[in-house]
Amino acid sequence: MAEADNRPTNFIRQIIDNDLETGVHKTVQTRFPPEPNGFLHIGHAKSICLNFGIAEDYQGTCNLRFDDTNPEKESIDYVNAIKSDVQWLGYQWSGDVRYSSGYFQQLHDYAVELIEKGLAYVDFSTQEEMREMRGTLTQPGTNSPYRDTAPEENKEHFRKMAAGEYEEGHCCLRAKIDMTSPFMVMRDPVIYRIRFAHHHQTGDKWCIYPMYDFTHCISDAIEGISHSLCTLEFQDNRRLYDWVIENISIETTPRQYEFSRLNLEYTVLSKRKLIQLVTENHVSGWDDPRMPTIAGLKRRGYTPASIREFCQRIGVTKMDNLIEMSMLEACIRDDLNVNAPRAMAVLDPIRLVIENYQGDGEMLSAANHPNDETQGTRELPFDKEIFIERDDFRESANKKYKRLVLDKEVRLRNAYVVKAVRVDKDEDGNITTVYCTYDPDTLGKDPADGRKVKGVIHWVSAMRNQPAEIRLYDRLFKVPNPNGVELDEALNEDSLVVKQGVVESSMVSAEVGKAVQFERTGYFCKDVESSDEKLVFNRTVALRDTWAKIES
């Protein structure tokens, strides 16, 4: 196939190209099959971009199918969150949302077919007995005493299972394959179990639920999936997948291909661990901006395009990987550097009084983006008293400090050149106010233009501004690979630092979630917890990779 230049290439696309060339498939049909037992995370984004991306590029289709066979752990809230995350990432599934539970009747009937063919049996052994008979990786298993029950009898037992006549755990349906197989999944796996549980889609209709391995391949076949893409831990399960498809009377033969899952430094991508973070209140919820969930990244200020770009940059292979956090951060920085409008905010304010400034203040004009005129300009109130960062002033400093120093000049971004003349201090010796003079002739002039000023600092009017809570986020974990480390030891206790600062008044009308660059400080976005009384901003990412510096 002739491919457009910017299309990714990977081993899966090579397989698809080959299948289309040789006529194995005429069209490409993929699916994204989440279990609705948690929110989606950045690892799922990799799978979403792969499946939906392939469908897009090959003019195929991609289904969204909820693999909902564990009613106790699943919920409709997760279903809804997952749907909205997929759409937010920029993808639309083909037709209606599918549910494995929508195929429960067909799955049941295929199980009966296996029973009739003598390829499945109802086992009344206890869990303990079944575990012993399963054998180990080095020892073959042994046959269950129920293995040779006649099909008619098995059919009756299975009917009773479905009718609720047996208690939970009393028996289960197993595929009759090979107890000596070197692949544990092939040692007569359980394909149906009894669960008296209410299901979010099917209610109380069923008290038997099919197991994942049995469900997944049949659901793929029912939907006519051509390439069933999943992560490497399902490699062995492929044998069972193929066995089921071969032994039931279904037309299509989907093929499963495995790729390596995404692991990201300084975070965890297992739903079990993410749930633990939420339920033990280590974070404020699934959408806490420190979470690697799609909802968390969105609230943090990540854009769908930056996440798609990340998935493209990491690629798809079969190799184990631990991707650096800086790679994800580079993607959002590259996006926001071009697209985010600029504004000013002071996170740790100290008052600067301009002693020779006359009048009631004025409105200056500032460009919203230094290299993009189409982003326009905004009004910027300038007053006799302004706030600057405490860090941007020193009574004395060496030449490397390019900010405001007593008796020296600095340019106020988008405004004038000022010169510090004296300070006020409290009884503890902390500076409370800096006094300066300004030069009215320096408005808007480039510092290089004839006038030697050391540097440029940002500011916000002390008279016309908006107070704002500014949340600075850092890595949630302090170790690169927190998997296998106790949460208490691995969590970064400084992952959230809250500042009470001030922002330009123009920020009142900022859109929730839409990024802005606070000049010299970082990229931020207004948080959903903002109100008219209190603005709240989340730091999406710092302007530069400060961790790279610390680590080197």
For residues 94 and 527, give the distance between their C-alpha atoms in angstroms, rounded to a whole number.
32
Phi, psi of 90 (to 5 degrees): 105, 20
Regarding 312 and contact with ligand ATP (CB under 6 A), the answer is no
Give the tokens for residue 437.
């003079």
DSSP summary character for residue 508: G
* 261 lies in the site for ligand ATP, by CB under 6 A: yes
CA–CA distance, 180 with 311 (Å, rounded to integer): 41
Beta strand pairing call for 227-231 and 522-526: unpaired
Residues 84, 142, 202, 231: which binds ligand ATP (CB under 6 A)?
Answer: 231
Taking the least distance from each CB to ligand ATP, the nearer of 269 and 410 is: 269
Positions in 269-308 near ligand ATP (CB under 6 A): 269-271
Number of residues engaging ligand ATP in binding (CB under 6 A): 14
Tokens read off for 538: 């989340």
81 binds ligand ATP (CB under 6 A): no
In whole angstroms, how close is the CB of 341 to ligand ATP at the nearest point?
A: 33
Nearer to ligand ATP, 152 or 233 (CB): 233
Among 29, 30, 47, 414, binds ligand ATP (CB under 6 A): 47
> Cβ distance 538 to 314 under 8 Å?
no
Shortest Cβ distance from residue 51 to ligand ATP (Å)? 8
- 12, 28, 34, 209: residue in contact with ligand ATP (rule CB under 6 A): 34
The piece of 6-14, 27-35, 311-319, 527-535 that touches ligand ATP (CB under 6 A) is 27-35
CA 113 to chain centre: 41
Stretch that binds ligand ATP, among 265-273, 290-298, 340-348, 478-486 (CB under 6 A): 265-273
Of the candidate spans 110-118, 263-271, 430-438, 536-544, the one that interacts with ligand ATP by CB under 6 A turns out to be 263-271
* Closer residue to ligand ATP in complex, CB, 158/286: 286
Kindly give the pairing relationship between strand 345-346 and strand 496-503. Answer: antiparallel
Token representation of residue 199: 């299901």
Which single residue brings its beta carbon nearest to ligand ATP? 43
Structure tokens at 24: 């194995």
β-bridge mates for residue 431, sequence order: 425
Specify the pairing of strand 120-123 against strand 98-99. Answer: unpaired
Interface with ligand ATP in residues 361-380 (CB under 6 A): none
**Which C-beta is closer to ligand ATP: that of 44 or that of 227?**
44
Tell me if 262 contacts ligand ATP by CB under 6 A: yes
Which residues carry out catalysis? 35, 261, 271
Identify any residues that bridge with 472 across adjacent strands, giving them in sequence order: 497
Verify binding: residue 46, ligand ATP, rule CB under 6 A.
yes
- Tokens 């990432």 correspond to 89
- Residues 519-538 within binding reach of ligand ATP (CB under 6 A): none
The answer to whether residue 230 forms part of the interface with ligand ATP (CB under 6 A) is yes
Report which of 100, 88, 90, 109 is spatially closest to residue 34, judged by C-alpha positions: 100
Residue indicated by tokens 């399963």: 134
Measured in whole angstroms, the distance separating CA 475 from the mean position of its chain's CA atoms is 14
Interacting residues toward ligand ATP by CB under 6 A: 33-35, 43-44, 46-47, 230-231, 261-262, 269-271
